[in-house]
């Protein structure tokens, strides 16, 4: 399956003229001169950017894991430091960070790149970090039926850093635990220790 960047967001593409019109109107409403050289192509550029940053609407995240492989591996698998970019649904301001995924297969494993694509599919839409974390864990649990899943997501939110309370550098950390990770402190500790290495 191609990466999300290879998809064209048809919802945006089909409404390109309308979106460009409204971006132009917003620029006027905030006091800009939409005829000045630097802004002439801005509505079109913003629309093309929307096609990319909202590409997650074009796929069902459950489909991203795709083909799984039958392996007799039932030990912890971790993919960490998966960089993501998303948009806060409350302010439409960017937030970004890293996702870390650990799971204990029950004989069925996913290709490692599929986990990164799952993060991309979930984050490339209007979101909140708490939902991202839960959705990733829930999809892995439902599609792979592992013994356990743990997901940790770190994020820096511009809606908090650049506006409002204005606390740059502050990070939000969320986690979701499923299956054996929920009942085993030793497993949670192993996962967190491996993240620090």
How far is 54 from 75, CA to CA, in rounded Å? 35
Whole-model pTM: value is 0.90
CATH number for the domain harbouring residue 12: 1.10.286.10
Binding residues for Zn(2+): 88, 91, 159
pLDDT tens for 139-196 read 999 999 999 999 999 999 998 888 888 888 899 999 999 999 999 999 999 999 999 9
CA-based nearest residue to 53, from 13, 90, 94? 94
CA-based nearest residue to 152, from 168, 167, 172, 180? 172
Is residue 164 assigned to a domain? yes
Query: Mind telling me the catalytic residues?
Result: 88-91, 129, 157, 159
pLDDT tens for 66-111 read 777 888 888 999 999 999 999 999 999 999 999 999 999 998 899 9
Q: Are 183 and 104 in contact (CB under 8 A)?
A: no
User: Both 131 and 87 in a single domain?
Assistant: yes
User: Both 18 and 97 in a single domain?
Assistant: no
Domain count, the chain: 2
Is residue 62 assigned to a domain? no
| Residue range(s) defining the domain that contains residue 169 | 67-196
Binding residues: 88, 91, 159
């Amino acid at each position: 399956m191609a990466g999300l960047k290879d998809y064209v967001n048809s919802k945006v593409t089909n409404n390109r003229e309308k979106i460009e019109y409204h971006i132009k109107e917003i620029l006027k409403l905030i006091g800009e001169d939409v005829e000045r050289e630097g802004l002439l192509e801005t509505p079109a550029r913003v629309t093309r950017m929307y096609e990319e940053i909202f590409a997650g609407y074009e796929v069902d995240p459950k489909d991203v894991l795709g083909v799984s492989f039958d392996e007799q591996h039932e030990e912890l698998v971790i993919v960490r430091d998966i960089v993501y970019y998303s948009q806060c649904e409350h302010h439409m301001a960017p937030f970004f960070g890293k996702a870390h995924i650990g799971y204990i297969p029950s004989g069925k494993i996913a290709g490692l790149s599929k986990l990164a694509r799952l993060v991309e599919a979930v984050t490339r839409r209007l979101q909140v970090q708490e939902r991202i974390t839960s959705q990733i864990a829930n999809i892995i649990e439902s599609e792979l039926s592992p013994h356990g899943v743990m997901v940790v997501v770190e994020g820096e939110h511009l809606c908090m850093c650049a506006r409002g309370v204005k606390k740059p550098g502050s990070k939000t950390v969320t986690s979701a635990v499923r299956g054996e990770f929920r009942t085993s402190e030793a497993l949670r500790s192993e996962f967190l220790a491996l993240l620090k290495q």
